[in-house]
Chain A
Amino acid sequence: MAKTKRVFIPGCSLSSYRPELVEEVIKYLKNKLPGTGAILKCCGKPTKALGQYDKFKERYAGLQSEIDKLGADEIIVACQSCYLTMSANSPEQKVTSLWELMPEIGMPEGTAAKAEKSDLTIGVHDSCSTRDREDIHNGIRWILDQLGYNTEEPPHTKENTRCCGFGGMVVPANPDLAQKVMDRRTGEFETEHLVTYCAACRESMTKGGKKAVHILDLIFGPVWTSESEFPGLGTPIESWVNRYKTKKKMQKVLS
């Protein structure tokens, strides 16, 4: 068996959103960084957010044993919440965000300048959990620039970004309040089209009335224009079906 130097963990929300994006990321990492494995498992952050600290410890230990099983010394994440949780709880591994990694290893083949002719101006929504990670903010802008999209920065951006409304498990607890937070956030943008780099943020921006995509949609999907049909909101059943499909695709691409 090949040595697993690093492991890509896509996170729950991305794998529930679009399995094919996870598949493309693994292919890309395999190509650029041979020696990359992958794990699909929850990090337990929802329990932590609820204050269920004992449960969280138990959950995270489960994930950690999978990482250790592979012997990886680096974790690559595509979710900012995973980034924080794993940075804090896997002291033996180096945790790297896909968005800081891409400028270092280069865009996937054939993606550079592909959207130069798009008529869109895309508003950039930063995740609040990594508000102090300048390298992540810069990586996202670098990717958008490489693709060739015009972008818009809202008044609150980067280190000063506002929450999408999803954070802290507020949606199930207090949906009306969460909706207000979502509406205020989307209200900051002039453009109708937004990009996020967190699938949960994408959902919030959509609930806030905008047309929103995940940045991986821009990288691996078609060229998006004002004519494109933007993804909407999935049902919980669809999410679980997607997650199952993600597992299958991961097993296929890493076999």
Chain B
Amino acid sequence: MQLSENLVREINEIINDCLADESPYCQSRCPLNIDVQGYVTLIGEGKYRQALELIRKTIPFPGILGRVCAHPCEEECKRGEIEAALSIKNLKRFAADMADDPEKWDLSRAPETGKKIAIIGAGPAGATAAYDLQKKGHQVEIFESLPVVGGMLRVGIPAYRLPETVIDREYSILEKLGVNIHLNKEVGKDIDFEALKNDYDAVFVAVGAHDAVMIPVEGSDLEGVLEGADFLRKAGLNQEVKIGKKVVVIGGGNVAMDVARTAWRVGAEEIHVACLECRNEMPAHSWEVEDAEEEGIIMHPGWGPQKIGGNKKVESMTFKECTQVFDEAGNFNPDYCEDNLKTIEADNVIFAIGQRADTSFMNEQLNIKEVDQLTLQSEVENVFGGGDCIGKPLLAVEAMSHGKKAAESIDRYLNSKELTENREEEGAYESKLQKELTREEPVRRRIDMRMLNLEERKNNFKEVELGFNTAEAMGEALRCLECECKECIKECIMLDEYSDSPKELFERVKKDEVDPLVYFSCNMCSQCTIACPNDFEIKDKFMQLRKILVKENNGESPIKGHNAIKWHQRLGFSKLFTTTRAAVDEEDTK
């Protein structure tokens, strides 16, 4: 059938804007857009292997993310409005625990392109980019200054949260795919950045924030004052770390919690964490603070450093009460009550107030922070930047997202394709779904992760979170509300019978693959329009389609059952069954 231009335009609007394939809240919030609902459903069905493969389609690090992802997805989970978000991160780890088998990894690659790419840094951004680019047929070389792979995953996140065996196992896919990883190769010292730029078709700068930010505090030059990043790096590299019995950690973020909990594991007995922010404004995730407190760490929210006391060696730390962190304009502008002081005895003071990346190896003319935010391309066209070094320290999942984005850009660049086209839905975005919860949804309690007994954690870096068992994972997976927009399909028996969604149906309409009976099965009642968040006038489209079919069928309906109507109409207009009667009495005209 021949559709008019106007009708095609209207149909295209439905195809483009129908929310049937809109990502659920969890997936759209994920910087990697992992199909969360998909793998959670598969876990619920006991299909662990398929669940794992679905995760691996996006990212080869399910075990790493299943342990350390800060799960922004869970913040958006609709379940949170009932009792608590789905335990998505833990389900991801469960899929990896149950079904990840290196023997079954997909090691296929696109045909060799002959293009060479240098990646600086084997952290989450660099490794993700390396994986994607190598899969696409390019040859990747990673240059890593540390003697191990993993970057901040390894020397920033302590092993009790992310065991090195997990990192090594999942990273091994890079070498299996043919990526060359050069350890102990520091760019700027062992290799010249300019040489990389010239010798490789593209360079991806993905350096992590390994340098601690320090603030000038009286006594900060005393022996026993440590940098948090350095402390964690030594622990991560299994080097000896010397620490006293009493430790004060300065900072209120996740790194401060990691430092405190690491200090406890290497022999400190009394550990204090102090930060400017009050308790509910601490930058660390609430669960990180709770886990630290469980290990006996003492929190001092709302206290700022005044001075470190001691003679040559640290003996104490004095704090002043912090009355304001940010001013009314929202700028960092702390204010203190200098009269309210407290002093804590200490052998060590560890600063964990922030970190930055060192990119001094680069030509001063190239500021990697000024990469294009959409493409991550720098002002030098074959140099791209991502991860911590282009701005602030990122979550692991955000760094991986940068890696993916950079890989896509580099691949397009190497193929001389437009870099900026269709990139809006890379990374996290706002879902257009408008799911309304019914009050009948049964409450299902979130299943807690089982943890290693406290006494078993001391003096070692054994993993604390034990993972879900099958019963726990199945129970948790069943909590998923399976958010989607099928409002019209749920309302309309006819749409439900003949299509998956208006989007799907009208794609077939355009291809003339729909039985005309479908168009003549619409009751024209508008309930679909009422249910539709976009108020699509679907009945109007069916009406237009009916008109075309009639026109192309000599003015008659192509539906057999409609033959009777022809006769009814003839009778309904015949003299036998019609009459016109005038009024027999005048209206009162007062």
Contacts and interface: CB of A to CB of B under 8 A. Distances in A.
A41 B530 CA distance: 33
B497 interface: yes
A169 B520 contact: yes
A40 B578 contact: yes
Contacts of A166: 523
Contact of A40 (B559, B577, B582): B577
B486 interface: no
A247 B578 contact: yes
Secondary structure class of chain A's binding surface, majority of residues: helix
B582 A1 contact: yes
Contacts, number: 172
B524 interface: yes
Contact of B581 (A38, A169, A177): A38
B190 interface: no
Contacts of B586: 2-3, 34-35
B525 A40 contact: no
Interface in A233-255: 240, 243-244, 247, 250-251, 254-255
Contacts of A66: 580
A240 B523 contact: no
B522 to A, nearest CB: 5
Interface stretch (B31-39, B146-154, B250-258, B550-558): B550-558
Contacts of A172: 559, 561-562, 564-565
A52 B520 CA distance: 13
A35 B585 contact: yes
Contacts of A162: 525, 527
Classify chain A's interface size. 35 or more
Interface string B21-52: 00000000000000000000000000000000
B582 A167 contact: no
Contact of B549 (A46, A51, A243): A51
A196 interface: no
A170 B520 contact: yes
B587 A62 contact: no
Contacts of B569: 42, 44, 46-47, 55, 59
Interface in A125-149: 128-129, 131
B4 to A, nearest CB: 13
A39 B585 CA distance: 16
A94 interface: no
A230 interface: no
A160 B551 CA distance: 33
B576 A244 contact: yes
A240 B571 contact: yes
Closest 3 CB pairs of A and B: A51-B546, A35-B587, A163-B525
Given A50-B565, A70-B583, 17 more contacts: A2-B583, A3-B583, A12-B572, A35-B586, A39-B581, A50-B550, A51-B548, A53-B547, A54-B555, A170-B521, A173-B520, A173-B559, A173-B561, A177-B493, A181-B523, A243-B577, A254-B583
Interface of A: 1-6, 12, 30, 33-42, 44, 46-47, 49-55, 59, 62, 66, 69-70, 128-129, 131, 160, 162-163, 165-170, 172-175, 177-178, 180-181, 184, 240, 243-244, 247, 250-251, 254-255
